[in-house]
Each structure stands twice: as C-alpha cells, then as structure tokens.
Amino acid sequence: MADAPDVPQIYLITPPAFELSSFPGKLSAVLDAIDIACIRLAMASGDEVEVARAADSLREVAHARDVALVIERHVQMVERLGLDGVHLTDGARSVRAARKALGEDAIVGAYCGASRHEGMGAGEAGADYVSFGPVSMTSLGDGTLAEDGLFEWWSEVIEVPVVAEGGLSAGRVTALAGITDFFGIGPEIWGEDDPAAALKSLMAGA
C-alpha cells in the first residue's frame, strides 16, 4: 500500500456506557446518514449480561445495514454473539491467540498507542488493522501522542491498514487524511445533540 486512500473510511466507536433504550436509535441515524466501515462496541462494563444485551441490540442495527461490528477485548464473546471480530487493546500481545481462536475470517484489530514496534508486531501476528492514538493532547493514558510521522511512515511502508483515533478534531482530520486508512471516531460526536451532523462536520476537511 504505497498510498492511503484519498478519503479515509470511518470506524465508529461506541461510548463506554449508554442507554439501550435510546442509543441504538442514535446509531441507526448515524449509519443511515453516513457511510460507516465498521463499528466497535467499546463498553467499559464488566457485566457479561449487560455487554451481551448491548451487543445483541447493536448487531441487529449494524448487520441490517451490512456494517461489521467488532467488540473490544472480549474474544470469547465474538462467536457466541454472532459478531464480526474483536478489537484488542494490549498491542501485539494477544493478536496471535485471538486469530487462532476466531479463525481467518474474523476481524482482529489491535490498538498500539504510539508504538511502531507494537504495531509491526501486531501486523506480523495477523492483525487485520492497527490503530494508533491519541493524535492530539488529551488527559487520557500517559499523554504520549501518536505523531503524524508515525502514520506517514506506516502508510508508506506497511500494508496493514491503519486507524487514527483519540482526540480527533476537524484540524487533525485534515492533517491526517492523506496518511491514514480509517478514522476511529466516537467520543468526538456522541455528546452532541445530532451525532450524525457532528460527524459530517468533523469529516468535512478529509
């Protein structure tokens, strides 16, 4: 992959907690308004029943529109809940085991912070994509930023698709549009009254 796509695709990330009575409707409105490549169920809850209910509800919304749904961390829930794959949060460490457990057809992605080394390891272990971030200053994590140079190098040298996520603004979207394959967007829009309009505005400069 010598060049990233002209317009990166959108990889939508759910809030860490949401109301099942209202969020599927919000998600449906976004999917109906904008082309979305994939959705990540990124719940913080450790309650298996709560996560499973959310997954069941969002799977119906996503699959009705031919959009893939992956779940964050919970490898063992993927097949049982009919999901499309898993997003791992520990760099390259769990990729090989997840791939073995889920098979070649499942999506296995890995968040690698700002580490080129972890990203390369994840790709070599069988990840379908690698995500780096945050891409602007945030109080989350340890404050380490995924610099533009990382995305530029990756898009020129590595074939595994790359996702930019965390701290995205209209300006950061414009700056990264030519050197990433996907934008992982979630916190930037879900607090707005009209998430679909917020997403369109955020992506306008891509």
Percentage above 70 pLDDT, the chain:
96
Residue 2 above 50 pLDDT? no
Residue 140: pLDDT band with limits 50, 70, 90: low
Residue 143 above 90 pLDDT? no
* Summary mean pLDDT of the chain: 95
pTM: 0.95
What pLDDT was estimated at residue 4? Answer: 46
Q: What is the pLDDT of residues 6-34, one digit of tens each?
A: 789 999 999 999 999 999 999 999 999 99
Q: What does CATH list as the number for 9-203? A: 3.20.20.70
Q: What is the pLDDT of residues 44-67, one digit of tens each?
A: 999 999 999 999 999 999 999 999
Percentage above 90 pLDDT, the chain:
92
Residue 204: pLDDT band with limits 50, 70, 90: very high
Both tokens of 104, joined, read 């070649």
What pLDDT was estimated at residue 205? Answer: 87
Map out the domains of the chain as residue ranges: 9-203
Q: Is residue 111 within 8 Å of residue 91, measured between CB atoms?
A: yes
Helix (H, G, I), strand (E, B) or coil at 88: strand
Q: Concatenated DSSP letters for 149-201?
A: HHHHHHHHH--S-EEEESS--HHHHHHHTTT-SEEEESHHHHTSS-HHHHHHH
